Amino acid sequence: MSDKLKILISGGGTGGHIFPAIAIADAIKEKRPDSEIEFVGAIGRMEMDKVPLAGYKITGLNISGLQRRLTTKNLSFPAKLISSLLRSSRIVRKFKPDIAIGTGGYASGPLLYTASRKHVPTLIHEQNAFPGITNKILAKRVNTICVSYPHMESYFPEEKIIITGNPIRKAIRELTPSKDESLEYFGLKKGKKTLLIIGGSQGAAKINIAIANNIKKLLDLNLQILWQSGSYSKAMADEASSNYEDVVVRDFIQEMDKAYVASDFIISRAGAIAIAEIIAAGKPAVFIPLPSAAEDHQTKNAMSLVDGDAGLILKETDANRHIHGIVSKLVKDTALQDKICANLKKFRHDDAADKIADEALKLIKKK
């Protein structure tokens, strides 16, 4: 091992994989500023844009997922997999990493598999209560498996498991912008409560439809709305809000630290990272889990907070009819708000990225 650490990180497809990977990279950089860190992603996926914005170099693989249903897209999967394995082999051979870290997503499979075959130390992080297929496949090959929830022994080898929690970006952990600065940034009014709507990094059609259909009633609660619609629903969100001045629509919010500071209430999917960020923000939220998520893991994620009186939950099928009612209840009940905010503090794990970085550095020392 040279004095200068060389680290490959792969994770992508959604913000739930990308942002933990960036948080881990940032934590390693803080501990070892001399580290050379490069990312590997999937061509055409959002990591190819988001990782460079965080200041890291990224290389793309021509890889896509295997569809769960019968589809012609699966016909190209074997060729793409072989191509990605060969490309990963060249990346590992050229970069000579001291460790390879994966956070899930299409590209992390070929990269971590190849790295393990070449006897490079490997670590993966699983964000959810139910693991993704890539991490399940990699579990037997990697050295260390960092997880966010207890009782993961039924999915992974027990001797490899380290419970670390979910890493979130430093900007979200610290939330340094002021309230006034954050409101001004988005063009929101001071002295008016803000409802932040985040359907996940790619948006959420059913949530967006429910908001569009109930937008006037939500605004009548004396709220202003900051709405991350996702690119697919941006036109619909723009049209729904066109007659109202107290709605700000963005297809994607890069400055989520300012969004959390500006908000007073949140409507969100229940992905593991979204939940971890809302816990860090300490804001009362209504979670609308994605029902098609594997093994309904988003509902399991949300219920961990709901059972601890640290959040509210609404089924997606009920969103259109009941989103106004549940938001109205939250906005009008200050005792409920105080209870949720107090209980959110019990779920905080601010050192997850540091823990994962420490585990990575331990593996390098053992090399």
Q: Distance (Å, rounded) from C-alpha 159 to C-alpha 133?
A: 20
Give the Å distances, CA to CA, from 237 to 10, 195, 262: 33, 15, 20
Tell me how crowded residue 168 is: count the other CB atoms within 10 A of its CB: 26
- In the prediction, which pLDDT does 1 show? 44
Rounded to whole angstroms, how far apart are CA atoms 282 and 175? 11
Residue 347: CB atoms within 10 A of its CB come to: 17
- Report pLDDT for 149: 79
Is a pLDDT exceeding 90 seen at residue 15? no
More confident residue, 169 or 335: 335
Helices (H), the chain: 15-31, 47-53, 77-95, 108-117, 133-138, 170-174, 179-186, 205-219, 234-241, 256-262, 272-281, 297-306, 319-332, 334-344, 352-366
Task: Find, among 37, 3, 7, 22, the residue nearest to 99 by Cα.
Answer: 7
Token readout for 181 is: 């600065």
Res. 196: pLDDT tops 70: yes
Nearest CA among 305, 283, 312, 28 for reference residue 149: 305
Q: Which of the given ranges, 71-80, 192-201, 249-258, has the highest pLDDT on average?
A: 249-258
Percent of the chain with pLDDT over 70: 94
pTM (two decimals): 0.78
pLDDT digits (tens, 9 = 90+) for 137-146: 999 999 999 9
254, 203, 200, 196: which is closest to 226 by C-alpha? 196
Task: For the chain, give the number of residues.
Answer: 367
Residue 93 identity (one-letter amino acid): R
How does the average pLDDT of the chain come out, rounded?
91
Residue 317 pLDDT grade (very low, low, confident, very high; cuts 50, 70, 90): very high
Q: How confident is the model at residue 348 (pLDDT cuts 50, 70, 90)?
A: confident
273 pLDDT higher than 70 = yes
- pLDDT tens digits for 21-39? 999 999 999 999 999 999 9
pLDDT tens string 57-71: 999 898 865 545 555
- Whether the per-residue pLDDT at 12 is higher than 60: the answer is yes
Asked if pLDDT for residue 267 goes beyond 70, the answer is yes
For residues 99 and 9, give the distance between their C-alpha atoms in angstroms, rounded to a whole number. Answer: 9
